[in-house]
């Protein structure tokens, strides 16, 4: 049963393409000059001015059904219903006479909890992106009966008028929980589609006692699953996509009473300076038919890629289905995790490369969500910048952080999960002086934690943050484990440590009334 677009106010549109296959969408994208086909088959597109998310342009409509639940503030800015109606009316008028692409799919691999969604786009490649990133409906009868709970309409060529529409710029991402509708315009960056759905899941599922998590997940040969929390650019995809463990998902997951499950059906990986040797699985995905490459440099004469070219952005991306990863778990589900890794790209070069967290420290660092925003992941970010994003995903957490923190604490305690803080950022100095932590060392430390090797070694407590640091780790030099020993100037290290500790404490003041005293005391003691 083809969707009735009139339900969404979409009348007098041009040709409507329902649930087209990958090959058909390729043909449409090339015919419409939306992208080019590179050597071996990936589709290369450009997103124009917006090469990353635009958090200042995302709003949640203030309406009765959701108003009392939303964590209002800088991350969840209110938008008035009458302004939403105005933008919606102009958007539907804009789409008259234009070709429309519709993808019906699911968000959530666990069939008991998945959310049916519909993605309506004016670009063929955006429809392919949705087909890659979300869970496809394979059964023809099921597809006919598909009734979406939420619908996304993405029209990047339609621009808002800020002084008229109440937006901050020509770009907008408007989430209306009451009408179960998301409007996106003014930006071609496809990550806005993906993260809008994530926001929806993080609103709906916790109210059903299911934790939504900004993390990747994989499964070992012994059936042990692991979670990797972190913001974009901290290494979630890289560290979870390895040959000796099966990938469950690379970015978004839920945790229910049965275990964990992927929210998505594909991956959205950063590919700038991707190494064939260090990241072979992801590298191969950049050379496959069906992959969408955003803002990757393409030599138009020989159709070869240059993954080292950052002339358009540092935030070059590959969107590909899970089937492109040979050892991925297609069902997207796994057992309760045995290990949780919280990834932070520390631009100060202060945090240890790996440390064991007490349950209280795990709560503290989960609610802190410290990292450095890396160049290109958001508009205006040109070099690493220290930031705190609660739950490692504040822009996508519609409810108050304590909701997610309480759920995580319950599950960690119930399932006796080991928690680790991993610094994938700088060592030997802060940004501009030290260097990025070698990926082979990070992999070795995580492997040792997963295999239980780090349970057999001694630990020393770091003095400022109180973190428990292993004194030895297989395949990692001992001096690398203790960050102060990698700095030439120990006084400079101490100074940076105090500076970062003060930032932690200042940020956590917002949660002082929402956490137990032992969690508050788990932070840095200055």
Catalytic site positions: 53, 195, 214, 232, 236-237, 251, 317
Distance CA 159, CA 92 (A): 12
The answer to whether the CB of 228 falls within 8 A of the CB of 341 is: yes
Burial environment of residue 222 by CB neighbours within 10 A (0 to 12, 13 to 18, 19 or more): exposed
Six-digit token string for 503: 């930032």
CB atoms within 10 A of CB 78: 13
Collapsed DSSP state (helix, strand, coil) of residue 208: helix
CA distances from 496 to 174, 364, 508 (A): 39, 20, 18
Could you tell me if 9 and 92 are in contact, meaning their C-beta atoms sit under 8 angstroms apart? yes
d(CA 513, CA 509): 8
> Checking DSSP bridges between strand 370-373 and strand 333-334, what pairing results, if any?
unpaired
Q: Is 207 helix (H, G, I), strand (E, B) or coil?
A: helix
The whole-angstrom separation of Cα 105 and Cα 102 is 10
Q: Which residues contact 110 (CB under 8 A, 6 or more apart)?
A: 254, 256, 258, 261, 332, 333
> Where are the extended beta strands (E) located within 93-245?
100-107, 115-121, 135-136, 150-155, 172-176, 181-185, 211-219, 225-229
Q: How does 420-456 read in b/e, with b if 16+ C-beta sit within 10 Å?
A: bbbbbbbbbbbbeebeebebebbbbbbbbbbeebbee
Report d(CA 182, CA 8) in Å as an integer. 11
266-270 and 305-306 as β-strands: parallel, antiparallel, unpaired? Answer: unpaired
| CA triple 170-372-297, angle to 5 deg | 60
Among positive and negative, which fits the CA dihedral 360, 366, 370, 371? positive
Two structure tokens written together for 168: 């901050």
Q: Are 212 and 178 in contact (CB under 8 A)?
A: no
**Three-state secondary-structure class, residue 155:** strand
Give the pair of three-digit tokens for residue 492.
Answer: 């400079």
DSSP per position, 299-349: -TTT--EETT--SS-S--EEEEEGGGSTT--TT-EE--EEEEEEEE--TTS
């Amino acid at each position: 049963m083809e969707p009735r677009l009139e339900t969404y106010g979409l009348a007098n549109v041009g040709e409507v393409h329902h649930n087209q296959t990958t090959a058909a969408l390729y043909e449409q994208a090339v015919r419409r000059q939306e992208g080019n086909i590179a050597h071996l088959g990936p589709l290369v597109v450009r997103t124009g001015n917006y090469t990353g998310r635009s958090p200042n342009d995302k709003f949640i409509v203030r309406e009765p059904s959701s108003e009392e639940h939303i964590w209002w503030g800088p991350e969840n800015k209110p938008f008035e219903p009458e302004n939403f109606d105005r933008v919606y009316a102009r958007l539907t008028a804009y789409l008259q006479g234009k070709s429309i692409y519709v993808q019906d799919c699911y968000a959530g691999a666990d069939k008991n909890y998945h959310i049916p969604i519909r993605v309506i786009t004016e670009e063929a490649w955006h429809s392919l992106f949705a087909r890659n990133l979300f869970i496809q409906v394979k059964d023809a009868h099921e597809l006919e009966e598909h009734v979406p709970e939420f619908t996304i309409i993405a029209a990047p060529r339609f621009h808002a008028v800020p002084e008229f529409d109440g937006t901050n710029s020509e770009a907008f991402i408007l989430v209306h929980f009451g009408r179960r509708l998301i409007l996106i315009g003014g930006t071609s960056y496809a990550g806005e589609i993906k993260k809008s759905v994530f926001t929806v899941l993080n609103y709906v599922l916790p109210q059903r006692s299911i934790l939504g998590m900004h993390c990747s997940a994989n499964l070992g040969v012994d059936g042990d699953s692991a979670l990797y929390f972190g913001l974009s650019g901290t290494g979630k995809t890289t560290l979870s996509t390895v040959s000796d463990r099966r990938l469950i998902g690379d970015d978004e997951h839920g945790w229910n009473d049965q275990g964990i499950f992927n929210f998505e059906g594909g991956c959205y990986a950063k590919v700038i300076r991707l190494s064939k040797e260090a990241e072979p699985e992801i590298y191969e995905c950049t050379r496959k038919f069906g992959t969408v490459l955003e803002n990757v440099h393409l030599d138009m004469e020989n159709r070869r890629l240059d993954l080292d070219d950052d002339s358009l952005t540092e935030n070059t991306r590959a969107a590909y289905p899970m089937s492109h990863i040979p050892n991925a778990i297609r069902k997207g589900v796994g057992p309760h995790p045995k290990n949780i890794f919280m990834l932070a790209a520390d631009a100060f070069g202060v945090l240890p490369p790996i440390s064991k967290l007490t349950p209280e420290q795990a709560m503290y660092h989960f609610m802190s969500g410290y990292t450095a925003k890396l160049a290109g992941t958001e508009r205006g970010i040109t070099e690493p910048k220290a930031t705190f994003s609660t739950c490692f995903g504040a822009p996508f957490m519609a409810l108050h952080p304590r909701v997610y923190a309480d759920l995580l604490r319950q599950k960690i305690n119930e399932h006796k999960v080991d928690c680790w803080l991993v610094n994938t950022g700088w060592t030997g100095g802060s940004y501009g002086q030290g260097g990025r932590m070698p990926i082979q060392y990070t992999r070795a430390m995580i492997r040792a934690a997963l295999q239980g090797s780090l349970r057999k070694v001694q630990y020393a407590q770091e003095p400022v943050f109180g973190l428990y640091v292993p004194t030895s780790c297989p395949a990692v030099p001992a001096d690398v484990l203790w960050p102060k020993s990698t700095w030439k100037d120990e006084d400079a290290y101490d100074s940076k440590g105090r500076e970062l500790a003060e930032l932690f404490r200042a940020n956590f003041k917002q949660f002082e009334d929402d956490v137990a005293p032992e969690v508050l005391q788990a932070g840095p003691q200055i």
